[in-house]
Structure 1
């Protein structure tokens, strides 16, 4: 019996947008990290949407003649903001709460007199990341706040959240990032009542202040150099004019895509990816020794020592694993740029700790989402 096709819900359509917003722990959970900034703006925009809904409802009641006193029939309007600090899992969060002239507005997300919102930031974002339907979102809000919220209000709130996500993804970038990592990971996403693989493209940069910044995330069916070319063009249009070192995996055509947009950029092949690919050809019992011998290549003090170490590796292992030495020789010109830099910079370049932390966090979110 064929499965009944389930139409994609609005909440399902939000999933791709929300994935573009997620950052790794270092960038998202810091004192002024994205989560805290986004939480502040999300709550403030949601409160504005609540007030808009409230004023619209009052206006409809006036037109219908159901608003009691004659004096109350004067159309209500916005009346600025007042400052309020709420306490959540991310610490103290100062927000601007909108108010109306007749003081009839009762916020739902941040009720009057309430200043402690345990877990609010994570729970609000989780409503969308889980791909909930409108009814599910209403149930969550009922559980969180003990109030009934209309579907219209939920729609208004999600609309402003989507706009915040789009603004983050399209935000202007700095003109120069000394180091940029470009990577893609395959994740399982539920779509049309099926679980399928999709590629999440990540670009992480280090700015001139030495701070890591997630420049953006994109979703596609598979990883390919053509899609990367589009991403790089978008980054340039957002203000990123130059990259000193671009760290990439061994995807065919990837370096050429970078050089087409940033011709002066030095493309550095990710050593971790290269070692992982090399060890695919080695039985488990010999992987530790092969990995150790490869380390003597990329951790050599000079380029000359690295070439000697590669020659020694070939003499030792080429008979058993000719594919490995062929792999390194084929990519040698993309491996050696790191030897032009001091040891501390080399470790930052050839390791993938920064981008891997983002990957782990993203996988964790998708796993808990289900």
Structure 2
């Protein structure tokens, strides 16, 4: 099978803080395999993050549907109804009124693909966008594929319907592959483990060596502000360090925002920082661009993220690629990325005592920082480059195994 010239890459609520790794994959797909890609999104993100590459991406938003398009979609809907009604799964889904909005978006997606010569839909979601792609496939016969980035329970109902028409499905960890095998064993023939990757040219160590004895020690953390990311555990650990090891001076800079554009969990963390008297030691930076993340990583002395659950962790990868000593949690698929004591340190999720101990160990031991950082970058170069996922996608599009 020959490779397509252009595909659609479907990303919900674009552009978001974590979307840079999608763009890196798209760039690698074009550079290494000559496959062009058009980003299509469900809608504009509620609080967009305007990375420097977003203008170049020229994403198309499916919603809201322009009024002029509604008239053009009416005959398409009438033509598609018999095909949709013939499928019992679709009939069941369409008993929910909101599902008709997904049908309209699927019809509009089919029109966009035809007009722009997009011959495959690669969906970075197994939620509503997967349903839209599956409906588009039934309507137009355009093939599609899915990527599972987290536990199936996070992506809503109708998973068997979303998956059964897909040409192939990527899951980012062996942990997720095992979950799918337990829930949908009949789908496993089309499932491959393909981790996300990072641009190891963009994310690398700083030009000048990091100081041997930084004072204060600079920690960086990057994750959306949500309880699952464990920022409260990190703040608690910072309080323990301040009380028990006053001679260890440090700063923690946390990049990320909550789902309420700073009016939700952000305020809870602000209150926690103030109550612990850590206002000068812990800073919440809000949403930041890819360039800011890279600059923060290169200026930092260490990276810490205390997630209660993490499917794999692009933030860890970026820090490791920048040759930083990384502290994470033994949660979700992180253990498939970080080998304890070799290329990072892992602590139990929610354990502020253990986290404080690991942070102190890194701050006090320059040789450990050096060995962890160098091993971390080697690990990313070997197994988690963005070129790897682009190669896997190209192979799958050609009909082979990733």
Same fold, judged at TM 0.5 (above):
no
Q: TM-score range by the shorter chain?
A: under 0.3
Q: Which has the higher strand share?
A: 1
Decide which structure has the larger Cα Rg and report it.
Answer: 1
